[in-house]
Amino acid sequence: VLTVDQIPWFSSACHSQAWLVGVSGGADSVALLHLLKAAGFLNLTVCHLDHGLRGQAAAGDAEFVKRLADQLGYACEVAQGNVRQRMEERRESLETAARHERHAFFAACALKYGCQQVLLGHHADDQAETVLWNLLRGSHGLRGMQTVQKFTTETGVELEWIRPLLGVCHSDLVRWLETGGHPWREDLSNAEPIAIRNRLRNEVLPQLAEISGRDAVAALGRGARVTEEWLELETWALAQTTVLDPQGRLHLPTLRGLPRALQRRALRRFLEASGIRAADSDLLERGLSLLEVEHPAVINLPGGGKLRRRAARLSVEPG
Amino acid sequence: VLTVDQIPWFSSACHSQAWLVGVSGGADSVALLHLLKAAGFLNLTVCHLDHGLRGQAAAGDAEFVKRLADQLGYACEVAQGNVRQRMEERRESLETAARHERHAFFAACALKYGCQQVLLGHHADDQAETVLWNLLRGSHGLRGMQTVQKFTTETGVELEWIRPLLGVCHSDLVRWLETGGHPWREDLSNAEPIAIRNRLRNEVLPQLAEISGRDAVAALGRGARVTEEWLELETWALAQTTVLDPQGRLHLPTLRGLPRALQRRALRRFLEASGIRAADSDLLERGLSLLEVEHPAVINLPGGGKLRRRAARLSVEPG
């Protein structure tokens, strides 16, 4: 059975500091809140957003969360969003609009309570599903959610998402709640995407486990950790290396001496510094082809600019 | 439709050099052989091993391969293994015994023909299945097969496995064979492990593609490439760093300044140099706990030795 000391973040964090906690009323976030209480966190503000998608049932959720916060002796902030209106006004998808409403809500809480840290109930199954979905559509290996992630909202508010339960699976949280006799709200509107991710979770992950006789959720979690460490290694290694010349151009002889992962990271950083934020792996591959002198000396950039090789340097020419 | 210039290895390799090619007679290796011919490789030796598992059908495979090599104007080496006998004599699994028989066969070919390079027909679906299986049971992210892999057999013969088709999927190979009117042998004994890997390939990969609308095989291939690049980055970064003191002990202040991935790699290398080859992620994690002075100063090593922290250094004490 799950215990509080199995959650590393709990012992590393300051128990008297102020923290915001996102609580929908569902099992995961309710378990997070009770676990925080059990671990001795004193100064929490429970934050609950009604996305405005479920009418009356949502009012019940908000009531449940308010009562729970009250019972546990924590402050509570409840707000009403309007995802549908935002979808229409800004032509956003349900998923995007819901996410932006949540960000705006947490930004408002952060300003009101003078606290940037937001604790969230994401767990190992969420992580496995995220890792698998990122793997299928991306080119960064097994990227998942991070336990601590700095984030700036659209409106420029700096937040820090903190996910203490990323190593704990959903069924262990439910068992823990049941053992403690803690109720939660079922069938919450999870204004999240949906079909694909749900099918990855409900069909693929159990099937992987059944076929392999291994814990697929744990394997994907390990994969996400090792990938995070590799990205950290890239950052570190790039900081050890001077790849720009005094004029701020990419120095090709230096770049050629680096391993491929670092070449790619250096080029991405260089393009970002030149205002090219959309450097996908295709663009990076084309950009790195400039390292070879037998290749053409210029490639086109999104936005009309060019990346040009001249005098053993790469530089960006604006469009 | 597949063309020879879509296979990068073909244009980078020397067409007049001698190469061994493993050909079972199945679609993949037969396609590899025809593609090599079409790309203009002159000096191939076709190598075929009968594992001794299928009786008469195997004789038909060997005949087929011999005739094909003859038609294409290549030398051919056919041998008879005895996997069952090896299983009994050495108490090996079918999978292990079959692998060792193949290694022994290729080692013999390498010595006979003075050629270490062995071309193999592994393709993108093999790669995806390998990556997924490694992901489920390991802790190295998305490791797959490498296009070029140095290998030393049990008997000390150095070989190089080369897999030019790792980026091409099986169905493209079959279509290419059909278009060219090239026959192959069906239902070959694939003395490989089996149930798990077949189910990953036949059930999980198509389901991932169906659910996500993405090419899961390609995604796992991309993942393997980026993982290979990260491992190469680790090797490079470790070579840039002096982690040993003049007495050959691990220097903790240096180690503490490195990112986690590099700490782990440095410790693994250090343990290997001390004869500890079985450093799994658990042992490495325990070893790295010695970096923190509040942790105990010694851990046990497999084989009875100890890894000890003293005077800001780590050293191995033999058991």
The ipTM of this complex is: 0.86
Beta-carbon contacts of residue B127 (< 8 Å; ≥ 6 apart) = B144, B145, B166, B217, B220, B221, B224
Tokens representing A71 are: 């019972």
Most confident of A137-141, A277-281, B69-73: B69-73
Strands B18-22 and A313-317, bridge-based pairing:
unpaired
Band the pLDDT of A138: cuts 50, 70, 90: confident
Are A21 and A36 in contact by the 8 Å Cβ rule? The answer is yes
pLDDT of residue B57: 83
Q: How far apart are CA A173 and CA B22, in angstroms?
A: 52
Q: Answer whether A226 sits within 8 Å of B141, measured CB to CB.
A: yes
pLDDT of residue A271: 96
pLDDT of residue B198: 87
- Of the two residues B234 and A279, the one the predictor is more confident about is B234
Partners of A75 in the beta sheet? Answer: A45
Q: What is the CA radius of gyration of chain B?
A: 23
Q: How far apart are CA A21 and CA A272, in angstroms?
A: 33
pLDDT at A191 over 50: no
Does the beta carbon of A12 lie under 8 angstroms from any beta carbon of chain B?
no
Q: How far apart are CA A185 and CA A56, in angstroms?
A: 14
Are A279 and A286 in contact by the 8 Å Cβ rule? The answer is no
Q: Answer whether B219 sits within 8 Å of A260, measured CB to CB.
A: no
pLDDT at A251 over 80: yes
Band the pLDDT of A225: cuts 50, 70, 90: very high
Which chain A residue has the Cα nearest residue B205?
A204
| Nearest CB neighbour to A211, from listed B200, B208, B230 | B200
Cα distances (angstroms) measured from residue A23 to each of A26, A29, A54, A190, A283: 8, 5, 16, 12, 41
Beta-carbon contacts of residue A71 (< 8 Å; ≥ 6 apart) = none
Q: For residue B152, count other CB atoms closer than 10 A to its CB.
A: 11
pLDDT of residue B55: 81
pLDDT at A190 over 60: no
Beta-carbon contacts of residue A280 (< 8 Å; ≥ 6 apart) = A139
SS3 of residue B22 by DSSP: strand
Reference B256, options B194, B314, B316, B191; nearest CA is B314
Residues of B in contact with A141 (CB under 8 A): 141-142, 223, 226-227, 230
Beta strands (DSSP E) in chain A are 18-22, 43-50, 75-80, 117-119, 148-152, 158-162, 250-251, 298-300, 306-310, 313-317
pLDDT of residue A187: 65
Tokens representing A217 are: 């959720």
| Nearest CB neighbour to B232, from listed A208, A226, A259 | A259
pLDDT of residue B140: 82
Which amino acid is it at B286? R
Mean pLDDT (chain A, rounded) = 93
| Below-70 pLDDT ranges, chain B | 187-194
Are B92 and B100 in contact by the 8 Å Cβ rule? The answer is yes
Reference A313, options A269, A215, A247; nearest CA is A247
Best residue in B130, B133, B229, B235 to probe A by mutation, most A CBs within 10 Å?
A: B229
- Of the two residues A256 and B189, the one the predictor is more confident about is A256
Q: How far apart are CA A207 and CA A205, in angstroms?
A: 5
Reference B53, options B163, B194, B183; nearest CA is B194
Residues of A in contact with B8 (CB under 8 A): none
Residues A82-98, mean pLDDT to the nearest whole number? 92
Beta-carbon contacts of residue B142 (< 8 Å; ≥ 6 apart) = A135, A141, A142, A223, B131, B134, B135, B220, B223, B224, B226, B227
pLDDT of residue B190: 52
Task: State residue B309 phi and psi, 5-degree precision.
Answer: -95, 125
Residues of A in contact with B258 (CB under 8 A): 236
Tokens representing B80 are: 């008879």
Q: Answer whether A136 sits within 8 Å of B216, measured CB to CB.
A: yes
Reference A9, options A115, A204, A183, A164; nearest CA is A164
DSSP state of B120: -
Residues of A in contact with B204 (CB under 8 A): 204, 207-208, 211
| Nearest CB neighbour to B196, from listed A211, A216, A236 | A211
Q: Answer whether B226 sits within 8 Å of A140, measured CB to CB.
A: yes
Q: How many CB pairs under 8 A join A and B?
A: 126
Helix ranges, A50-93 (H)? 56-72, 83-90
A-facing residues of B in 277-306 (CB < 8 A) are 281
Q: How far apart are CA B81 and CA A152, in angstroms?
A: 64
Q: Answer whether A226 sits within 8 Å of B259, measured CB to CB.
A: no
Q: How far apart are CA A289 and CA A287, in angstroms?
A: 5
Which amino acid is it at A270? F
Which amino acid is it at B227? T
- Of the two residues A315 and B319, the one the predictor is more confident about is A315
Residues A248-257, mean pLDDT to the nearest whole number? 96
Cα distances (angstroms) measured from residue A57 to each of A63, A189, A217, A264, B201: 10, 9, 32, 49, 43
pLDDT at A57 over 80: yes
- Is residue B191 within a helix (H) or strand (E), and if so which, with residue range? none
Cα distances (angstroms) measured from residue A73 to each of A42, A44, A49: 9, 9, 19
Q: In this predicted model, what pLDDT tens digit does every residue of A97-106 receive, in sequence order?
A: 999 999 999 9
Reference A27, options A168, A197, A199, A193; nearest CA is A168
Residues A79-92, mean pLDDT to the nearest whole number? 94
Best residue in A215, A233, A240 to probe B by mutation, most B CBs within 10 Å?
A: A233
Residues A215-230, mean pLDDT to the nearest whole number? 94
Q: How far apart are CA A261 and CA A266, in angstroms?
A: 9
pLDDT of residue B291: 95
pTM of the full predicted structure?
A: 0.88
Does the beta carbon of B256 lie under 8 angstroms from any beta carbon of chain A?
no
